[in-house]
Amino acid sequence: MKYFIESFSQVFGNNPARPAKDDQSEELKEIYKNKKLTKEDFENIDHRSHVLGKWQKRRWITLILVNFLFLVSYKFDVQLLEGAMTASRFVGFHMADLNSALQVMLAYKHVVLNLVIGTATIFIMWLLLGGRAFCSWACPYHLLSELAEFLHLWLVKKKIIKNHTFHRKTRSVFYVTFALLALLSGYTIFETISPTGIVSRAIIYGPGVALIWVGALILFEVFYSRRAWCRYVCPIGVTYAAVGSVSPLRVTYDATDCHHEGDCRKVCLVPHVLDLTIKGKAHTVEQDITADCTRCGMCIDICPTDSLNFKFKGLDKFL
């Protein structure tokens, strides 16, 4: 229950709860006490590359294959994976993106059986796969945004531009706003501007004028704010984070060998979930990363001490 509450708190823009010293286990206090790293120790840390690590390669391949399967099914009419990322059928079985389904139900105030089946299927699938794993492992816009991020960081490093951030609660405001717009207008307004749906349909059916909007978003993220859409606007992440709060698939942090050098937070799309890697901020020696985590694996790839790893709760007892 504590994990669930903390996850929702972070998803809706609150800062991670800071542990009181009395709340920390004695084992963790002892680890922190004996961990006195010098400046030389930090300089000698074997920093791993943040590009094309093991999990990033697997994720990119998976993301490309999933979206390519939509294209192949449409072009060759094999009826394997029909539709687009927002709503589809896999070998005839309905699947509906959770946020898209919510928008449709609010707009039309009517629920059809196929929508219920599709929503239930996707809920179960992403419950097992980690909720916001949808963002990093399936969303086609995520890959474009990730590539734009490399250029943004290079421009920042060269001091050509500065990164600008917004308050994290902005995403909560947009979530409520899009829901109210659908409810009051009778139209799924978010679906019209969602880059996830636009890019997915462009891959399958060919490019359209809506890609101009996607291009504008990419330019905004390159030259002004790193990953702005995913971090501060997109309600899809909020919806899947709610699923992730009860998912057994999580990233787990072990404070035992951590150097607290911060490489993981530098590559993370949602770095607030890794605040517990800062020395003194963990609650226990082993702690699960909260549900706003996209399970992208970037922090696992870059951690020099393997203090971060995937864990399927319950299954680890049998391994």
Integer angstrom CA distances of residue 41 from 24, 37, 133, 302: 26, 6, 34, 18
Q: Please report, rounded to a whole number, the percentage of residues in the chain having pLDDT higher than 90.
A: 75
The pLDDT score that the predictor gives to residue 91 is 81
Ranges of the chain with pLDDT below 70: 21, 41, 43, 316-319
Across-strand partners of 94?
89
Whole-number mean pLDDT of the chain? Answer: 91
**Residues contacting 87, CB < 8 A, separation 6+:** 95, 96, 97, 100, 101, 118
Domain boundaries, given as residue ranges, for the chain: 1-319
**DSSP character at residue 159:** T
pLDDT value for 318: 44
The three-state (H, E, C) secondary structure of the chain, written as one string: CHHHHHHHHHHCCCCCCCCCHHHCCHHHHHHHHHCCCCHHHHHCCCCCCCCCCHHHHHHHHHHHHHHHHHHHHHHCCCCCEEECCCEEEECCEEEECHHHHHHHHHHHCCCCHHHHHHHHHHHHHHHHHCCCHHHHHCCHHHHHHHHHHHHHHHHHHCCCCCCCCCCCCHHHHHHHHHHHHHHHHCCCHHHHHCHHHHHHHHHHHCCCCCHHHHHHHHHHHHHCCCCHHHHHCCHHHHHHHHHHCCCCEEEEEECCCCCCCCHHHHHCCCHHHHHHHCCCCCCCCEEECCCCCCCCCHHHHHCCCCCEEEEECCHHHHC
For the entire predicted model, the pTM comes to: 0.91
Please count the other Cβ atoms lying within 10 Å of the Cβ belonging to residue 130: 24
Residue 193 near residue 250, CB atoms below 8 Å: no
